[in-house]
Structure 1
Amino acid sequence: MIRGLIFDLDGTLVDSLPGIATALNHALNDIELPNHPRDVVKTFIGDGLLNLITRALGPDHSNQQNELLAAFKKHYSQDWKDGTFPYPGITSLLEEFHQSNFPMAVLSNKPHEYTVEIVETLFPQNLFSQIRGHQEGYPKKPDPTTAHRIISDWNLKAEEVAYIGDSTVDLDTAQNGKMTPLIFSWGYGTPEDFPLLHSVDDLRNVILDSR
């Protein structure tokens, strides 16, 4: 029985690729490096900001990591607002789950301040009991430590919680934490050879049928 829901953010609840790609290319322009096409930027997403920056630079420009990181942060604080959108049907589904008394949380490898700002801006208030991005001193996914803290706060067992994501990192997080993995097909790092959810209705059916 699934009694609690933890969601990834990028590629799961929101399409954030346009904002990330725009900010990254603005930052690359600032330090006079070539831009990346959006479909290439898509392959950089999912393992946190530092990995995004490292992949964007490649080995030839790794010495400019601090420059690009600072430039990206400057641009992303504005660019995400015009390039981050909830996937169709997601908000109404979250409201349905909330009305059905599922505790819900967001757990992302995106920096914590961006995670909180995006969720609080794009979604109705009080849907999520916790919003967690990556913070210094806490391990990133696929380490399940933060997920387990959330689950403990809910007084649930890991086996009673689904982790909903879009990537191999999310699948590994769920499996490492003994949660039920539910993986959307529309995200940024979809795992191969794993059953995928292709619509919000697929997720609705899995969750409600599990009660």
Structure 2
Amino acid sequence: MMIRAVVFDLDGTLLYTLDALSYCMSKTMRHFGLGDIDNEHTRYFVGEGARKFVDRSLIYNGDKDLKLAKKAYEVYDEIFEKDCLRGVKPYDGIMELLQELKNLNIKTVVLSNKSQLGVEKNIKDVIGEGVFDLIYGEREGIPKKPDPTSLNMIIKELGFSKDEILYVGDTATDMQTALAANVISIGVLWGFRDEKELRENKADYIIEEPKEILDIIIEAQR
């Protein structure tokens, strides 16, 4: 078996974005006189797109009927556009991994539930242009992860078979996406969730450092 492409989740996998997400949501909640959303709650509220993040934050603050949701979506989008890069950085070892994958002629892709513009801005300003072969964020008319539609679209666009793909993420949503698309999943322990969640959602591999992805690729080629 030859691995020809690695598909990465963004938040909690490639980039540390927890401070930015917590800051933007806390600022949104304060706009409505509500309480902050700290990092520990943020890590469990995110992963299924901005709207779900807003909904969970409002419910946490007592708006169980989501009466403020429509306006809160707009406020969050405005704040996020300005502050989405606050404290954002690649996890240790990610830049080196991406260079090694390029050296091996392995395609790299980003697949996130964050908006397309948000993903592109994060990648362009933090990692750089021309690093990834494809960038997939939330797109109108395409269901978000864990629905496998976007991942299947990526595989089709690359022209590879499913056993030539690795999917790397840090949450149940990511593992479920890989499982639904029938591709090999790698759960990372440096992200937003824990080992228990990854195991319960049938991660094929669980790793502690980005460089372990290279070991998995070498193992697959034996």
* TM-score scaled by length of structure 1: 0.95
Residues 147-175 of structure 1 show CA distances to partners (whole Å, capped at 9, x for unaligned) of 11111122111121011101111101111
CA contact (8 A) 1:148 1:177 kept: yes
Q: Which amino acid aligns with 1:21?
A: S
Q: Are 2:174 and 1:170 aligned?
A: yes
**Alignment size in residue pairs:** 211
After alignment, is 105-114 or 122-131 more displaced? 122-131
Structure 1, unmatched stretches of 5+, are: none
Q: Are 2:209 and 1:199 aligned?
A: yes
Q: Which amino acid aligns with 2:40?
A: D
Identify the residue that residue 130 of structure 1 maps to in structure 2: 134
Distance 2:83 2:129 in 1: 23
Distance 1:50 1:158 in 2: 30
Q: Where in structure 1 do 4 or more consecutive aligned residues deviate above 4 Å?
A: none
After alignment, is 201-210 or 37-46 more displaced? 201-210
* TM-score scaled by length of structure 2: 0.90
Structure 2, unmatched stretches of 5+, are: none
CA contact (8 A) 2:171 2:198 kept: no
CA contact (8 A) 2:170 2:198 kept: no
Distance 1:91 1:208 in 2: 19
After alignment, is 120-129 or 88-97 more displaced? 120-129
Distance 1:85 1:48 in 2: 20
After alignment, is 15-24 or 75-84 more displaced? 75-84
What is the RMSD of the two structures over their aligned residues, measured on CA atoms? 1.4
Give the drift of 1:192.
Answer: 4.3
Q: Are 2:79 and 1:69 aligned?
A: no
**SS of equivalent to 2:67:** helix
Q: Which amino acid aligns with 1:164?
A: V
